[in-house]
Amino acid sequence: MPYSRKYDVLIIGSGGAGLSLALKLADHSMRVAVLSKFALTAGSTYYAQGGISAVFDAGDSIESHIEDTLDAGGGLCNPEIVRLTVTHGKSSIDWLRKQGVAFTEEQTESGEIKLHLNREGGHSHRRIVHTADATGKAVSLSLIERAQEHSNIELFEYHNVIELITTQSPDRYGKRVVGSYVLDTRKQRVKTIAARVVVLATGGASKVYLYSTNPQSATGDGIALAWRAGCRISNMEFMQFHPTCLYHPHAQSFLISEAVRGEGGKLILPDGSPFMQHFDPRAELAPRDIVARAIDHEIKKRGIDCVYLDISHKSESFIREHFPTIYRKCLKFDIDITKQPIPVVPAAHYTCGGVLTDSYARTDIANLYAIGEVASTGLHGANRMASNSLLECLVFADRASEDILQKIAFIPAVPKIPDWDESKVIDSDEEVVVSHNWNELRHFMWDYVGIVRTDKRLSRAMSRVELLKKEITEYYSHFRVTSDLLELRNLVIVAELIIRCAQQRKESRGLHYTLDYPETDNSKPPQNTILTP
C-alpha cells in the first residue's frame, strides 16, 4: 500500500543543525518531520569531541574571533557571514544550556564558577566551550531528548531519502520543493512525504575517502540530492583532513581531538623529535590544513606509517579529567596516553564546500534550505577553523527558522504527488557490484584526490568516476533501491563534484594543495568555485 504524509516542514538529518531547527519551529506550533538515515545518534554531531567556539573570555573579542576565522579561511571566507556567525556565539551557547546541555565548568581563584574554555588550532585565544572531550554527544543527546518530548515533532529513524520532489509553479515561486521520496530501510518500502518546506541537514561527505574520522552516514546525500534537483554547489575542492586520527589496525577512524594539541600535546617523529616548528611558527596550533600536510609530508618523506602525538608530559589526573573518552579508547588498544605517545595519521574530516546558500540558509530552489556541514555558507572559505562547525549549525538553524516562520503562511499548499513507481525494477542478485564500486571509489579518491593533488591524478580520478557513474546509473535503473545503493549513487556524484572543483582551481589555497600549482595566486581577488547543474 502507498504511504504518504504531509508536514509543514521536512528536515532531512538529525544532527545538531536539524534538531535545533526542529525545536525552534515546533515551538511555534509547526508540524515537523525529522528523518535520520540510521539511528538518531548516528550523525557527525554525536561524535564531535572538541567543542563550540564562542567568545566568553574577558581577554578575547568578537573581532579576534573574526580575524582568526578569516585567516584560517585562506581569503575565501565571506566577511559578512563570518561576523554574523561569530556574533551569535554566546547566544547559541546560552540556548543550548537552556536545552539541558551541561558544559564543563571551572572555579576561579575568587570562587566564581564559569565555563572552562579550551584552545584549538587557528584560535588566538581560549574560546572553545566543551563538555570534556565529548561535546557533540552531550549536545546530541540533549536535543534528541527535547525533540522526543515535543508533540509537534515526529522523528523517523532508518529513513533514507531517495530524491527531492520539485514542481514548476505558475506563480512567483517558479521551481519549488514539495517533499521527498524516502526509503524506510527497516520495512523496505518507499514512502512519499510532502512538505511546504524541506531542509537539508545531512552533514558532510568525507566517506568518499578511504580513511575518514566521520561515521558511516557521511556520504554526501544532501549535496547529491540538491545537485540533482538543480542547486548550485560551491567549493567542493576544500575537503578538510583532520591531522590526528588514531592509527591502529583495529581502530575504526577514531579522532584524536585538536584540544589535545591545544592543551600542550606535541607532534613527534618515531625517534621522539618534534617537527611542526619546521612548517609553521605556530607549530601544533597552526590551522588544520598546514598540520595535515606537514604530517603527510613527514610520513611520505621518511617512509613511516604514522607520527605520534604526545601529551604524556601532563599529569595523569589532568589527562584523565580533560580527555576521558580518548584515554579510555586508546587504553582498549593498549595505549596508555598518560605514559605513551598516540600513533596518528591524517584522515578526511570535514566538507568545507557544499550546497550554495545565502545568509538565511536558502538555496536556489524555493522553500529548500540547507544548514550545517551540507551547506556552503561562506563561513569556512578554503579551510574551516576548529570548532566553528557546531557554531555554524546553531546559527544557521536559527536563521533558517526566522525565515521559515516569516514566510510559511504564504507558501501555497503542496499539490498531489504521484507515488514512487517500482513497476519496472526487480530485486538485485548482484549486491557485490555495489560493494565493489564503493571500495573502488573510496580508494582512488584517497590516492588521487587527497591531501596532495596533481593534474594527472585528478584526470585519472575523473576517468574512473565517469565509468562508475555509468555502471551505477544502469544498476539503479534496473533494481529496487537499497540504502547502500542510494549512498553509492550519491557518493559518485560527490566525487565528481570534488574533482571538477579541484580541476578548476589552478593554485594552491587552503585545503586544496596541488604540486602543479604549489603557490597561492595573489594576482587577483580569490574566487569561489561554483558549479551549476
Contact residues for 439 (Cβ-Cβ < 8 A; gap 6+): none
User: Which of 165-174, 363-372, 470-479 comes out lowest in average pLDDT?
Assistant: 165-174
Q: Summarize the confidence of residues 54-62 as an average pLDDT.
A: 96
pLDDT of res. 429: 67
Element containing residue 342 per DSSP (H, E):
strand 342-351
- Identify the band that residue 433 occupies on the pLDDT scale cut at 50, 70 and 90: confident
**Active-site annotation holder among 196, 288, 453, 489:** 288
Q: Summarize the confidence of residues 453-479 as an average pLDDT.
A: 94
Domains, in order of start, for the chain: 241-348 (3.90.700.10), 431-531 (1.20.58.100)
CA separation for the pair 457, 455 (Å, rounded): 6
Q: Summarize the confidence of residues 397-405 as an average pLDDT.
A: 98
Strand arrangement, sheet containing 307-310: 239-246, 342-351, 307-310, 266-268
Contact indicator for 366, 177 with CB cutoff of 8 Å: yes
Apex CA 530: angle with CA 206 and CA 388, to 5°?
A: 50
Say what the pTM is: 0.92
CA separation for the pair 124, 72 (Å, rounded): 11
Helices (H) and strands (E) in the chain, counts: 15, 20
User: Which of 180-184, 423-427, 438-442 comes out lowest in average pLDDT?
Assistant: 423-427
CA separation for the pair 86, 90 (Å, rounded): 9
- Identify the band that residue 2 occupies on the pLDDT scale cut at 50, 70 and 90: low
- Smallest CA-to-CA distance from 222 within 202, 192, 208 is with 202
Apex CA 486: angle with CA 483 and CA 490, to 5°?
A: 140
226 has a pLDDT exceeding 70: yes
In this prediction, what percent of the chain has a pLDDT beyond 70?
99
Q: Summarize the confidence of residues 438-462 as an average pLDDT.
A: 95
Q: Summarize the confidence of residues 68-78 as an average pLDDT.
A: 96
pLDDT of res. 110: 85
E-assigned strands of 169-231? 175-184, 189-200
Beta carbons within 10 angstroms of residue 177's beta carbon? 29
Phi (first) and psi of residue 351, to 5 degrees? -100, 105
pLDDT of res. 269: 97
Residues in the chain: 533
pLDDT of res. 383: 94
- Identify the band that residue 170 occupies on the pLDDT scale cut at 50, 70 and 90: low
- Identify the band that residue 160 occupies on the pLDDT scale cut at 50, 70 and 90: very high
Side-chain half-sphere CA neighbours of 343 within 13 A: 15
| pLDDT, greater one: 432 or 459 | 459
Contact indicator for 31, 115 with CB cutoff of 8 Å: no
Pairing of strands 189-200, 368-370: parallel
Q: Summarize the confidence of residues 411-435 as an average pLDDT.
A: 83
Phi (first) and psi of residue 164, to 5 degrees? -75, 145
pLDDT, tens only, 315-352: 999 999 999 999 999 999 999 999 999 999 999 999 99
Residue 491 to residues 171, 222, 238, 266, Cα–Cα distance (Å): 35, 10, 16, 35
pLDDT of res. 349: 93
pLDDT of res. 278: 96
288 labelled catalytic: yes
- Smallest CA-to-CA distance from 256 within 430, 121, 440, 397 is with 121
Cβ neighbourhood burial of 343 (10 Å; 0-12, 13-18, 19+): buried
404 has a pLDDT exceeding 90: yes
CA 109 to chain centre: 38
Q: What is the mean pLDDT of the chain?
A: 94
Look at the block and give the residue holding cell 561535546. 135
CA separation for the pair 350, 236 (Å, rounded): 11
Residue 433 to residues 210, 290, 402, 428, 430, Cα–Cα distance (Å): 18, 38, 45, 10, 6
CA separation for the pair 473, 488 (Å, rounded): 10
1 has a pLDDT exceeding 60: no
Contact indicator for 492, 441 with CB cutoff of 8 Å: yes
Beta carbons within 10 angstroms of residue 328's beta carbon? 11
User: Which of 374-388, 420-434, 463-477, 507-521 comes out lowest in average pLDDT?
Assistant: 420-434
pLDDT, tens only, 252-294: 778 898 889 999 999 999 999 999 999 999 999 998 889 999 9
C-alpha cell at 228: 540533482
Crossing angle for the helix pair 455-478 and 431-448, to the nearest 10 degrees: 160
Q: Summarize the confidence of residues 90-106 as an average pLDDT.
A: 97
Residue 349 to residues 110, 238, 253, 295, 299, Cα–Cα distance (Å): 40, 11, 10, 15, 19
- Identify the band that residue 162 occupies on the pLDDT scale cut at 50, 70 and 90: very high
Pairing of strands 153-156, 32-35: parallel
Based on C-alpha coordinates, what's the Rg of the chain? 23
pLDDT of res. 253: 76
190 has a pLDDT exceeding 90: yes
- Smallest CA-to-CA distance from 497 within 364, 349, 376, 367 is with 376
180 has a pLDDT exceeding 80: yes
In this prediction, what percent of the chain has a pLDDT beyond 90?
84
Element containing residue 213 per DSSP (H, E):
none
Going by the DSSP 8-state scheme, the letter that residue 439 receives in this structure is: H
Phi (first) and psi of residue 471, to 5 degrees? -60, -45
